[in-house]
Structure 1
Amino acid sequence: MAASSVYATVLWAFPCLYLLLKSYRSCAGWRFLLRGRALMLAQSQKYPRQAFTVAVPGNTLHVVTTPEHYHDMNAAPLSSMSPWLAAREMFQPKYTVGIDWGAPREQVSLVTVRSTRHMISELPKLEDEFVRIMQNELDKAVDTKDKRQGWSQVLLWETIQRTFIRVTTHMLLGREAANDDMFLSHALAFIAETGLIMETVRLVPSFLAPIIKGRNTHQKYFFNALARSIEQRRAYTTSTSDPNQETPQSSLEAFVDFAPNDWSLQKCVDAINIMFLIIVLATPIIASHLVQDMYSHPEHLEDLRTEENHVYLSSSSSLSAQLDDLPFLEAFVMESMRTKCFQANTAHRVAVRSFTFSDGHRVPAGEAVEFNQHAHFNDPALYLDSTKFDPCRFLNKGKSIVDIGYDWSFWGVPRHICPGRLHVANTLKLLAVVILQRYDCRIENTKDMNFEWRDALVPSPHTVLSMRFASKVKHSVSSGQ
């Protein structure tokens, strides 16, 4: 009788212990959602130069921080450490956009990189249009928002997000789409829906995920617009001989030109859509952080204005050359990126098979690995007074926003670096120059301008930027649309 009682107790104990451990892990994963950045930074500072793991919803995340870890990730073959599996885990494309990426996706990635690099080479021709978009959106905000003692009360995140989505749309999809209010309205709603779905799917039990997937009118409108543009470009290249073909005027046109002829329309739509989402979900956050820093550290405004006074936005000469000659602004943007560090981790990977770092740390197959740049940028051994905002730490040090490598890991690892980093850098500097030349601004309440979610620092939708037109607007170009 006693033996059977013990046996029964053991039978009950194992499932109870399993449920207890599962519950603890679930709580730990949820804790990461709200305090992931802080938890990882504290762990990195408590145990410097050591890899560690944290529970995240649905997986285990291995966090690494040393130069050796960084170089190991750079050297790891795609057959061992996959960025596409990490992106699939992050974006949940099966539910957000109705496709399930296979792995590897090197061929799609190659076409994406080629089309992006082509458009980077076209930046000097596009920058005047970017300036017009920025002026148009910011002028509209100043003119239409409620005023308090002559200052328009502009919601910073809402305005910057729409501005940068228009800029991104112009580069990726073309001028017509960037100036189409109907398209932009659907695109903004589609982006918001996608962000909500990709987070929700990762939090609910897997059997509930299929009922969450997005299939609304905004997504359909956006996909149909992409499909029409792709078909138009294909028809044009088919009917026009190579010597007479116009250079692609958007990433979409370049993608169609570089893609193999046997790729289906849906495959092109899916690839361009993912390219669009990756940029529009990240770039407005970095831009919002930059504006926050410009007006929460007003002691640097005089130096910024002195320098930007030499930039002529209406000049027919290349703006790129002028933007390259703004060392203080370059340093200021870098310091904003360092201190805000919108994603605590970079170089997102999932182990295809078991992977062992050079220090012996092992990552089982299926688990995630990321490099914690937030800890690196806050290391007092590397950055004196690392919590202080000081753009002079980068000034005249031969540093650039688009640098790559362990010292500036913002763009990932060199073998798989972000191909659009020059576009991001130029548009950030363009935004700063446009605002400094055209408007007076201030942020009266700098409290709670951001909140943490997972490893990201997300701008609050409630932060107000007080704006008015400068008494003397310098070097303006025609706004229009």
Structure 2
Amino acid sequence: MPNIIRTTLTPAIGRLNHAMMAEVDAAVLRELGECIEWTPIEIYGKIMRILAVASGRVFIGPELCHDERYIEAVVNYTIVLNQATLDIKKLNPWLKRFQAHRLHSVIALKKLEDRFLTFIAPTVEARRKAMTSGQTVPDDMLTWLMTKGAGDGIETVRDIGLNQLGLTHVASFATGATATNVLYDLAFRQQYIKPLRDEVRETLAGFDGKLTTPALRNLQKMDSVMKESLRMHPLVFSTFERRALQSFTLSDGHFIPKGTNLEIPNHAIARDPEIFPDPDAFKPWRFYEMGEKNTEKNGGGTSHQFVSVSTELGSFGYGRDACPGRFYAADELKMILARILMAYDVRMVDGETERYPNLDFGGVCIPDPTRKLLFKRVVDSPTR
């Protein structure tokens, strides 16, 4: 899967951009509605449905991404999977193999997987017949899994279906949580919405009214807000997980025994004042200004961008195993945020005086999915 994402999905972003943007446009307006007056919306659930359709257009094709059976599976899979994982971890390690399959959450997970496999099987078989007879098939992840995954053991309908669910879990959870965090940040700090909206409008004017891939790269202030939000609210507290396969000694003399698990303290580094001045303050243009200074000093550079990996911010990992889907996720995230900000004003629910706190448990930090924001249509925004 990482190889397919790296070698096929990422190069395809440009040619799939138009179809993705069309899905995002329609899904945002459909899910958030007219909002003639200030309307309270539980935004996390809406974002997950928007992502299901937009990602589904690339992952599973235009004929299935609008099917409620698919949307339900994608939206619920992360919830059900996480609950099953937590319940299994509570069991005595010696009893897991005997008791795990009896847990209600594990049974619910298997039922969801079975429903999804039943749903996707006819399409997989139809595409196999089409490919055998030389017919054209959709240019999407489902086809790529069928044509490129066999060498890695992805052959049966079950293999293909479970890989699809795994992919949607990773893509939807991370992107949905990040989008929700950004909206929580902006709702609490409304003064930054207009500069972002102006940037989108100026970019659209310069790119024939379309958020093409080059146009999305032009949204540098939005990119900065996304990265600052991720710095303040990293989805994981540690990253770059590794296990030593053999004993070795670091250059500073530290001895690492074979079998040692290693992690990098992602959250702690992101709040280090020696790396990020005033680290506990949300500064939306922090990385935009870093990029401006870098351009003036060195004539360019991309180390400040949302998708860049570095030793300072590790949410995407580091090295050759850094998240291969971050380029796709960044574009999708910008599409969704741009469409929302162009169509709606957003603010905190009346009476709220602080940014909603995130939920921290284990090594994970997520936005509270039960919180609501107020949305109202922008007067001069298009209705379609």
- Which structure 2 residues correspond to residues 31-110 of structure 1 after superposition, within 5 A? 109-110=2-3
| Runs of 5+ consecutive residues of structure 1 not aligned to the other structure | 1-107, 144-149
Which of the numbers 138, 148, 151 marks the counterpart of 1:258? 148
Matched, 1:222 2:116: yes
Give the C-alpha shift of residue 302 in structure 1: 2.7
Q: List runs of 5+ in structure 2 lacking aligned partners.
A: 292-303
Which residue identity lines up with residue 214 of structure 2 in the other structure? Answer: A
CA displacement 1:324-362 (0-9 Å, x = unmatched): 212221211111111111212222334455565444242
Secondary structure of 2:187 counterpart: helix
Match of 1:117 in 2: 10
Could you tell me whether the CA contact under 8 Å between 1:354 and 1:363 is conserved in 2? yes
Report the secondary structure of 1:227's partner residue: helix
Kindly provide the CA deviation profile for residues 287-309 of structure 1, in whole angstroms up to 9, marking residues without a partner as x.
Answer: 11011111112222232222122
Which string of whole-angstrom CA distances, capped at 9 and with x for unpartnered residues, describes residues 392-441 of structure 1?
22114332111123244331112112121111111221222112111121
In the TM superposition, what is the alpha-carbon distance from 1:138 to its structure 2 partner? 3.5
Q: Percent identity?
A: 19
**CA–CA separation in structure 2 for the residues paired with 1:133 and 1:350:** 45
Q: Distance in 1 between matches of 2:77 and 2:33?
A: 23
* 3-state DSSP of counterpart to 1:370: strand
Q: 1:122 to 1:423 in 2, by over 3 A?
A: same
Q: Which amino acid aligns with 1:410?
A: S
State the shift of 1:459 in Å.
Answer: 1.6
1:273 aligned to 152, 159, 165, which one? Answer: 165
Residue pair 1:226, 1:269 contacting (<8 A) in 2 also: yes
Cα distance in 1 for partners of 2:332, 2:41 equals 20
Q: Tell me by how many angstroms 1:174 deviates.
A: 1.6
Query: Hey, what does 1:187 align to over in structure 2?
Result: 74
Write the distance in 2 (CA, Å) between the matches of 1:141 and 1:363.
60
Instruction: Report the AA paired with residue 250 of structure 1.
Output: D
In 2 relative to 1, CA 408–163 (structure 1 residues): closer, same or farther, beyond 3 Å?
A: same
- 1:345–1:373: 8 Å Cα contact kept in structure 2? yes
Aligned residues: 358
Alpha carbons 2:14, 2:212 under 8 Å: kept: no
Q: C-alpha separation between the residues in 1 aligned to 2:22 and 2:286? A: 33
TM-score normalised according to structure 1 size:
0.68
Offset, 1:450: 1.7
SS at match of 2:323: coil
2:314 counterpart of 1:422: no
Amino acid at match of 2:84: I
- Counterpart in the other structure of 1:211: 102
CA-based RMSD of the aligned residues comes to: 2.7
1:411 aligned to 2:303? no
Corresponding residue number in structure 2 for 1:292? 184
Task: Tell which structure's C-alpha radius of gyration is larger.
Answer: 1
Q: Give the TM-score, by structure 2 length.
A: 0.83
User: Structure 1 CA distance, aligned partners of 2:14 and 2:255?
Assistant: 41
CA distances 1:432-463 after superposition (whole Å, capped 9, x unpaired)? 21121111211132454421011221121331
Distance 1:190 1:327, change over 3 A: closer
Q: Which residue of 1 aligns with 2:363?
A: 455
- 1:356-375 to structure 2, matched below 5 A, reads 357-359=250-252, 360-365=254-259, 368-375=261-268
Which amino acid counterpart does residue 60 of structure 2 have in structure 1? L
The Cα of 1:379 is off from its aligned counterpart by 0.8
Aligned residue in 1 for 2:279 = 386
Indicate how the Cα distance of structure 1 residues 349 and 271 shifts in structure 2: closer, same or farther if over 3 A, else same.
farther
